């Protein structure tokens, strides 16, 4: 399942808590982020049970362009996570929104 940048932006503005898993590398996360847990895709497979989220939580997986997060989404789903959404277009899509984060 995908979530568009516009829908994700609305979700962030409406909710106090959104479970975000940012799968970019640490340096990318520290350069620019919108919050959430940073667990790089390169380390996700070995740490899939250490995300900090329950397997039934709604999780939005993000990266720069939506490609790594799509892979991370598949890994999470294969490991029993049931409500994982990929941010379509990634953070680049968020940054292109009018009045983005």
Q: pLDDT tens digits for 60-96?
A: 999 999 999 999 999 999 999 999 999 999 999 999 9
21 contacts 37 by C-beta, under 8 angstroms: yes
d(CA 92, CA 34): 12
| CATH code of the region 2-96 | 3.40.250.10
Q: Which pTM was predicted?
A: 0.93
Domain ranges of the chain: 2-96
């Amino acid at each position: 399942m995908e979530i568009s940048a516009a829908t994700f932006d609305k979700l962030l503005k409406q909710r106090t808590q959104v479970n975000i898993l940012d799968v970019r590398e640490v340096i990318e996360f520290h350069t620019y982020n919108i919050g959430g847990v940073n667990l790089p895709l390169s380390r996700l497979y070995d740490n899939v049970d250490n995300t900090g989220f329950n397997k039934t939580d709604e999780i939005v997986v993000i990266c720069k362009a939506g490609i790594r997060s799509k892979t991370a989404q598949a890994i999470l789903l294969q490991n029993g996570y049931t409500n994982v959404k990929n941010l379509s277009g990634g953070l680049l899509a968020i940054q292109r929104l009018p009045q983005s984060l």
